[in-house]
Amino acid sequence: MNYEKLDAIVASYRDELIANIQKWVSVPSVQGPAAGENAPFGVEVRRMLDMALEDAKRFGFEVRDIDGYAGDVSYGAGPETMGMLAHLDVVPAGDGWQHQPWGGEIDNGRIYGRGTTDDKGPALCALYAMRAVKEAGIPLKDGVRLILGCDEETGMSDMRYYASKLEMPNYGFSPDAEFPVINIEKGGMNILLSKRTGGEEGASIPVYSLYAGERPNVVPAEAKAVIGLGAMRLQDLAHRLADIEKAHEGFVLTCDEVSGNRAEIVATGVNAHGAMPHLGVNAAGMLLIALKELGAGGGSRESIAMLADVLGMETTGEKLGIACADELSGALTCNLGILRYDGVEISAHLDCRYPICGDEAVMLGNAVKTVAPAGMCVQLIGSHEPLHVPAEHKIVRGLLKVYHEVTGLEAYTIAIGGGTYSRMMPNTVAFGVCFPGDMDLCHVADEYIDIEKMLLGVKIFAHAIAELAGGLIED
């Protein structure tokens, strides 16, 4: 098939695509309290869904609103339907931005903002790819449907609701990861470690509160503790924290006095996606280690020490007793995403991504054995099994072919720790929009998308629609 016309149409979208991603990024579509029957994830997510569906309708597509849980955009019909699954919700902005998280600022050929790569930018790439195929008049054997979800970051209840109302497409991809093709996604466990402490009465350095993180799947960049100074002066505490900094590379610890002979300790780290915790610096783990070395805590002291020892700055789960690895999907990762203490109960929320070989029952059992001596409880909050679509599968082969032909780059399959919508639809893998060698910017400060690579993503997706829905890939 001659793709010159299709590619020319994609190139013509450049300025419009830039303006649209800036518009989409301006909506802070972080999940909020339900706001009526058609806004189950809050007013901002609802506003983002309305905006996306209006744009799709303007392009001449049929659109549906599935009660605010998701929307879809359809083109054509056939014996089967090719699906593209993207999401419009985003994680909170977090700290450490040099650019406005909702500003869509352009700097050095990049558009900055929360959602530019995860996942509003890729969603727009898929939408414009559909539009290009439509305007180029490319014949398709199957229908094409872009599903825009609203709860990917906090549990994927949107796709479960969607599947309860409508039949899912037969095959396709989720543009929510990286190229070439993600055919393996690790399993996931959200684990809560907790204990009621009995308070801080009688402690020489009582801990009154701990706070770090908002989502388990984000490495927290800031963690705070309010402690009692006791006989210490603030200057004494600052000196002790400086000594702890010197003993641990990368630690950044500051303190400030608050009322009632108390001080606030702040640990500063670096955000990263919870699936790749080694790329960040976990402020919560840093704070736990600092508190342990200070000897802080009354009823919380044993729990703080335990969490510092088995979690701390570790990202493999080895000290918790859950580490495992295999050749196909790699090693388990463990992220301490949320840390809380209110003077009564201490808790640590972990996001663990495990390889194909992982056994949830065994891992949970080992975690229980590890933390039980400190009287801590282990609770499984949620989990999902690994996803593996073999490299020989028609969809994988087709997407690898398209990627190589459009880019000229080597095409291969890879495994990731991140979880995408791929597991919510049969015969589905993750495909783009980040390229090999690019920094993973999901869930971090100064998230951005490169403008030229964004256009290349549209081109790749358009070719993928033409090849897969056009029936050009043989079984």
Counts for the chain of helices (H) and strands (E), in that order: 11, 26
Q: Where are the alpha helices (DSSP H) in 101-227?
A: 120-136, 157-165
Q: What predicted TM-score, i.e. pTM, was given to this entire model?
A: 0.77
> Which two structure tokens, joined as six digits, stand for 364?
């949970």
* Residue 415 parent element (H or E): strand 413-416
Res 419: pLDDT: 79
Task: Output the pLDDT for position 95.
Answer: 86
Would you state the pLDDT for residue 348? 98
Going by C-beta distance under 8 Å and a sequence separation of 6 or more, which residues neighbour residue 153? 31, 87, 89, 90, 91, 215, 217
Predicted confidence at residue 260, as pLDDT, reads 86
Pull the structure tokens for residue 124. 């727009």
Q: What is the spatial distance between Cα 459 and Cα 288, in angstroms, rounded to a whole number?
A: 47
Active site residues: 89, 152
Contacts 24+ apart (CB under 8 A), 101-107: 101/28, 101/445, 101/447, 102/25, 102/26, 102/27, 102/28, 103/25, 103/26, 104/21, 104/22, 104/23, 104/25, 104/26, 106/18, 106/22, 106/451
Q: To which residue do tokens 């201490």 refer? A: 346
In angstroms, rounded to a whole number, what is the distance separating the alpha carbons of residues 367 and 385?
Answer: 18
Give the number of C-alpha atoms closer than 13 A to the C-alpha of residue 1, restricted to the C-beta side. 24
Radius of gyration of the chain (CA): 24
CA distances from 87 to 8, 163, 221, 230, 241 (A): 27, 15, 24, 50, 42
List per-residue pLDDT tens for the chain, 475 residues long: 779 999 999 999 999 999 999 999 999 999 999 998 899 999 999 999 999 999 999 999 999 999 999 999 999 999 999 999 999 999 999 888 999 999 999 999 999 999 999 999 999 999 999 999 999 999 999 999 999 999 999 889 999 999 999 999 999 999 999 999 999 999 999 999 999 998 999 899 999 999 999 999 999 999 999 999 988 999 999 999 999 999 999 999 999 999 889 999 999 999 998 999 999 999 999 999 999 999 999 999 999 999 999 999 999 999 999 999 999 999 999 999 999 999 999 999 999 999 999 999 999 999 999 999 999 999 999 999 999 999 999 999 999 999 999 999 999 999 988 778 999 999 999 999 999 999 888 888 999 999 999 999 999 999 999 999 998 777 6
Residues in contact with 241: Cβ distance below 8 Å, sequence separation at least 6, in sequence order: 253, 254, 255, 265, 290, 294
Instruction: Show the tokens assigned to 384.
Output: 């999902």
- Could you read off the pLDDT of 20-55 as tens digits, one per residue? 999 999 999 999 999 988 999 999 999 999 999 999
Q: Given this model, what pLDDT does residue 1 score?
A: 73
Structure tokens at 60: 């001449």
The structural domains of the chain, ordered by start, are 4-186+387-468 (3.40.630.10), 188-384 (3.30.70.360)
Q: Name the 3-class secondary structure at 3.
A: coil
Q: In the block, which residue shows the tokens 């500051």?
A: 254
Give me the pLDDT at residue 318, please: 98
Task: Name residue, tokens 């510092």.
Answer: 308
Residue 407, both tokens: 């880019």
Distance CA 434, CA 265 (A): 37
Please write the tens of the pLDDT for every residue from 57-111: 999 999 999 999 999 999 999 999 999 999 999 999 988 899 999 999 999 999 9
Q: Hey, what are 271's tokens? A: 């955000």
Give residue 102's pLDDT. 98
**459 exposure class (CB count in 10 Å sphere: 0-12, 13-18, 19+):** buried
Rounded Cα gap, residues 109 and 421, in angstroms: 29
CA atoms within 13 A on the CB side of 349: 20
- Report how far residue 138's alpha carbon sits from residue 31's, in angstroms, rounded to the nearest whole number: 38
Q: Which residues pair with 434 in a beta bridge?
A: 178
- Whole-angstrom distance, CA of residue 106 vs CA of residue 19: 11
Selection from 312, 291, 302, 295 nearest residue 209 by Cα: 291
Q: Which two tokens stand for residue 197?
A: 């402490």
Strand partners, 396: none
**Other beta carbons less than 10 A from residue 35's beta carbon:** 15
Whole-number pLDDT of residue 458: 98
Q: What are phi and psi of 168, to 5 degrees?
A: -75, 155
